[in-house]
Amino acid sequence: MDAELAARAQAWLAQDPDPQTRAELRELLDRATAGDVDAAADVADRFRGRLGFGTAGLRGRLGAGSNRMNRVLVAQAAAGFAAYLNEKGGPDAAPTVVIGYDGRRNSRAFAIDSAELFAGAGLRAILLPRLLPTPVLAFAVRHLGADAGVMVTASHNPSDDNGYKVYLGGSDHGSQIVAPADSEIAAHIQRVADELSVSELPRSTAYETAAESLVDDYVAATAAVGPAPAGATGLRWVYTAMHGVGWETMSRVLESAGYPQPTTVTAQIEPDGAFPTVAFPNPEEPGAMGLAFQTAREADAEFVIANDPDADRLAVGIPSPGAEGGWRRLTGNEVGLLLGWRAARDAAGGTLACSLVSSPGLEAVAGHYGMDFAATLTGFKWISRAPGIVYGFEEALGYLVNPDTVRDKDGISAAVAILQLAAEARAGGRTLAGLLDEFAGMFGAFASDQISIRVDDVAVIGRIMAALRASAPERLGDAAVDAVEDFRDGRDGLPPADVLRLRVAGGARVIVRPSGTEPKLKAYLDVRGDSARDAAARLDALRDAVTALLDALQ
């Protein structure tokens, strides 16, 4: 085995406070030393590099090593973040940081380590009282006037992953970090990793635990997003927490807002970091809502609502006679446009915002109501910063409906908004499907789709992006490509990003970018048609052409 890698691994062992990852690494090193080639390759993968800290914080597979999520890496991140906050803080008071955690493996351990290290660094550290949804942490940063927040979660990633999401208060209003804060924090983390052992970092148990009243305040604020109208009485619907932490908080919000309790998907309602009933705990993944749809058929439900494991995303399912099993999940764009219509209808001015890969239909809504519109880079760290925002969404099932209290996507407040829409429609003898038809009649028939290519080697993604930049197609099927727009150096007033946008004849577009959280390449397809049928036909043709193009480039 490589001597340098072996030395890094031994140095890691010497400072690792976790007996499980120490035992895991010792066993791996013993096998590698005995000549096990696979074990040696595993050690190399774990120590040849470091899990990068960026605008998404940290996210990766659990395990020992600098390229995994573990207590050593979290301790270094917490100490580095504390140094950043102390450097930025004023002389009058210690910076305040709030820490939350979900139900994934090691989430509570990572949160307590962080609280102790923040307190040891002289910060006022406040730990949420128990495992709670990410939106509660985002709410707490603003509600408590904190300087920062940390949420330990990997959201909808596979069960072997965990992560570390960072928020800033003050002038950032509780949004997730963006440049240059990400690189500045990363530099502090690297200095800690280079100069100090985790065992040398000062710790203190003098952190606070937030009062239950904080959760009460979130519940009250979220219930106020959409109090139940008269049509809510007798509403029949199904809810799944996808083995996450959403249900306890959701059920309290429903009671406060006056909505009937749903039929729950029993097998998925309690937190379980193993996610035993789904391969990927993401409502977007094929089959992930299968149990919810089965429950809906049995309960004769009108619709289904699902949260992802940390409840910052929302999925909606409706009856669909043409779909397999008679149900389908609405796309993130369909839900986003309905909620954008609701926001515009009720707002007195302001800005509707979405990521540039989300449906252009939101711009049509903003224009209809005389509101401002902003297209941002992907992620709520950008969407939440749109000036004058009253509503924002991204097609990946993220919706920001209450920016005065939560500057991040919030699957619970979005559920309340959908429930209000569904109840209003029901009172008039309509359905959510009917609302989609009304939207098309008022704003135009927009249709969207996404093609995702999951890879084992992320270098494949770079090769595809490079090939598209070097020789973009002149046609996609029967339609000409009118323009190719590269965001690598920034454009449309946005920061630089690894994004390509192809403008296609007839008002269609294709946007290609690497995923920011998973080893995927994503292509986003949008068309506008004269009718829903016309839009669907145009989308089918574009999907076939883009699929053929990407297959040829792999």
Q: What is the mean pLDDT of residues 395-408?
A: 96
CA 488, CA 355: separation in Å to the nearest integer?
A: 16
Beta-bridged to residue 329, according to DSSP, are: 317
The pLDDT value recorded for residue 516 is 73
- Please provide residue 38's backbone torsions phi and psi, each rounded to the nearest 5 degrees: -65, -40
Q: What is the mean pLDDT of residues 146-155?
A: 97
Q: Looking at per-residue confidence, does 52 or 133 come out higher?
A: 133
b/e string for 250-259 if b means 16 or more Cβ within 10 A?
Answer: bbbbbebbeb
pLDDT at residue 89 above 90? no
Could you count the other beta carbons within 10 Å of the beta carbon of residue 20? 15
CATH architecture for segment(s) 75-210? 3-Layer(aba) Sandwich (3.40)
Nearest to 399 by CA among 451, 341, 443: 341
Three-state SS at 315: strand
| Predicted structure pTM score | 0.94
The pLDDT value recorded for residue 336 is 98
In which residue ranges of the chain is CATH 3.30.310.50 found? 444-553
Alpha carbons within 13 angstroms on the beta-carbon side of residue 424 total 11
One-character DSSP codes across 45-72: HHHSS-PPPBTTBEEEEBSSSTTSBSHH
Q: Which fold has domain 230-442?
A: Alpha-D-Glucose-1,6-Bisphosphate; Chain A, domain 3 (3.40.120)
CA 110, CA 21: separation in Å to the nearest integer?
A: 13
The pLDDT value recorded for residue 259 is 98
Are 347 and 389 a contacting pair, CB within 8 Å?
A: no
In which residue ranges of the chain is CATH 3.40.120.10 found? 75-210, 230-442
Catalytic sites, residue numbers: 155
pLDDT in tens, 174-195: 999 998 999 999 999 999 999 9
pLDDT in tens, 115-148: 999 999 999 999 999 999 999 999 999 999 999 9
- Please provide residue 381's backbone torsions phi and psi, each rounded to the nearest 5 degrees: -60, -25
Which tokens in the block code for residue 233?
A: 């009485």
b/e string for 100-119 if b means 16 or more Cβ within 10 A?
Answer: bbbbbbbbbbbbbbbbbbbb
Q: 471 in the Ramachandran plot: left (φ > 0), alpha (ψ -120 to 50) or beta?
A: beta
Confidence of residue 362 (pLDDT cuts 50, 70, 90): very high
CA 445, CA 435: separation in Å to the nearest integer?
A: 13
What is the enclosing helix (H) or strand (E) of 167? strand 161-168
Three-state SS at 481: strand
Edge to edge, what strands does the sheet with 237-240 contain? Answer: 263-264, 237-240, 303-307, 314-319, 327-329
The pLDDT value recorded for residue 493 is 86
pLDDT in tens, 290-323: 999 999 999 999 999 999 999 999 999 999 998 8
Q: What is the mean pLDDT of residues 35-42?
A: 95
Helices (H), 347-494: 361-368, 380-383, 411-427, 432-443, 459-470
- Please provide residue 240's backbone torsions phi and psi, each rounded to the nearest 5 degrees: -130, 140
Task: Please state, rounded to an integer, the average pLDDT across all residues of the chain.
Answer: 95
CA separation (Å) from 20 to 16, 74, 107, 341, 513?
A: 10, 15, 15, 50, 37
Are 332 and 409 a contacting pair, CB within 8 Å?
A: no
Q: What is the mean pLDDT of residues 342-349?
A: 95
pLDDT at residue 162 above 90? yes
Alpha carbons within 13 angstroms on the beta-carbon side of residue 294 total 9
CA 295, CA 301: separation in Å to the nearest integer?
A: 8
Q: Which CATH superfamily is domain 444-553 in?
A: Alpha-D-phosphohexomutase, C-terminal domain (3.30.310.50)
Nearest to 115 by CA among 161, 150, 86, 162: 150
The pLDDT value recorded for residue 212 is 97
Interhelix angle 332-346/411-427, rounded to 10 degrees, is 70
- Please provide residue 305's backbone torsions phi and psi, each rounded to the nearest 5 degrees: -125, 135
